[in-house]
Structure formats: structure tokens, C-alpha cells
Amino acid sequence: MRTAIVAGASGLIGKELVQKLISSDHYRMIYLLSRRKGESTHKKIKELVIDFEKINQLKFDEPVDDVFCTLGTTMKQAGSRDNFQKVDFEYVVALANLGKQAGTSKFLVISAMGASSKSAIFYNKVKGMTEEALIKIGFKQLVIFRPSLLLGERKETRFAEILSGFLMKAFSFIIPDNYKAIKAEKVADSMLKMAIKSTGTVSIVKSGEMFREKL
């Protein structure tokens, strides 16, 4: 059985993913890296409350098979471009380096449709920079997920996303699969499936592929 690290477990995808990992017979230990104490008390879960600025100081007593990264913020939450880049680039890359040191063979990360370091859109540019940095680390297997607009229950209300989700569902018949709104549960399910099976050195899973998968 495998061990895993999950960073971003309190987020929309992260919450769904943790429940799937708990239910999976493939995992016996799941380390949750969090900035504040969560509520999970399951015997498979070991929660580590950490300062992501000092993530490189973490040590594990056993090799970690898989690292799941669902870290991410928004420009509104971050408050500035620098803070956004810190979370979506610096923290993600630091987590990847930690995983590499812990013997991780597979790193699975949430990116975004349109990710490109050459994008004129800052959000997509940072996501693209992150992807390129992760590839350079040299995992045996790196899986990058590029979901479109996420659907699910959030702690905070985002009117723009609610409206976008409504419009996407209303006009889904004319929207390409890669750009249709997608449930967070579908993305989490795809992450688990890709973790269990053998993949190439670098695999990119686009939103359309996840959208068409059956739960």
C-alpha cells in the first residue's frame, strides 16, 4: 500500500480528493499539509500544520509514493500579484522539491486550462511557469491537470463564478468539452485514477478528458 502527501486539502478539489484517498484500498497513510488544524480524525490521516515558507524543513520517516498538490488561490484572496505568485508558483515548487527529497516517484498537480508561461493573462502565465518548473525537477512521473471553471460548494460566495457556471451549464451544448464547467469531484476522481495507474514521464490531463470520465 502507498503513502501520499496532500497539500491544499481544504480547497474545493482537495476536500473531494482526501475522501477518495481515504476510501481507496491503495493508500494506508495520507499526510495532510495545512496552515491550520483541520477536522479529519480518520486513522489514515496524519495532519501536519506547517508554515509553507519553511516547507523545506519537513522530514518524513518513510518514503512518500505520491504527492497531490491542489494548492491555489485567487487574485482577490491573494491581494496582490506577488502574493498570488508566492502561493501558485513558489509554494507549489517548494512542495515538489520536498517530495523529490522524500523519494516521491509521482507528483500530481492542479494547473489550469490556458496555462502558458507566454500568456498575456497573469493567472495563466504563472500556471505555465509553474508547470515548466515542475518538469525541470525531473520526477519519474509528473501528472498535470488542467481543469476549466470548477463547480462545487465553496466556503465563500463568488458571484462571477456562480454566474459563469450557470451560463456554462445553460450553453454547454455549444461549449467545447475543455472549457465546460467541471465538478471538483470529477477532477479529484481523475487525480486518483492517474495516481494508481502507470503514466508517462510528463502527462497533461485536460478538462475535457476529465469531464468525459465516468465517476
- Region 57-81 average pLDDT: 91
- Report how far residue 184's alpha carbon sits from residue 55's, in angstroms, rounded to the nearest whole number: 26
What value does the mean pLDDT of the chain take?
Answer: 88
State residue 149's pLDDT score: 87
Return the closest-CA partner of residue 90 out of 147, 15, 7.
Answer: 7
* Residues listed for the chain: 215
Cell of 92: 507549489
Q: Is the pLDDT of residue 77 over 80?
A: yes
Domains of the chain, CATH where assigned: 2-212 (3.40.50.720)
**pLDDT tens track for 79-102:** 899 999 999 999 999 999 999 999
State residue 62's pLDDT score: 86
Q: Is the pLDDT of residue 171 over 90?
A: no
Task: Annotate the chain with three-state secondary structure.
Answer: CEEEEEECCCCHHHHHHHHHHHHCCCEEEEEEEECCCCCCCCCCEEEEECCHHHHHHCCCCCCCCEEEECCCCCHHHHCCHHHHHHHHHHHHHHHHHHHHHCCCCEEEEECCCCCCCCCCCHHHHHHHHHHHHHHHHCCCEEEEEECCCEECCCCCCCHHHHHHHHHHHHCHHHCCHHHCCEEHHHHHHHHHHHHHCCCCCEEEEEHHHHHHCCC
**pLDDT tens track for 107-146:** 999 999 999 999 999 999 999 999 999 999 999 999 999 9
- Report how far residue 108's alpha carbon sits from residue 210's, in angstroms, rounded to the nearest whole number: 14
* Percentage of the residues of the chain whose pLDDT score is greater than 90: 67
- Region 59-68 average pLDDT: 91
Q: Which range (21-30, 48-57, 177-186) has the least confidence?
A: 177-186
State residue 215's pLDDT score: 59
What is the dihedral sign for C-alpha 142, 120, 174, 16? positive
Q: pTM above the 0.85 mark?
A: yes
- Report how far residue 71's alpha carbon sits from residue 32's, in angstroms, rounded to the nearest whole number: 12
State residue 35's pLDDT score: 85
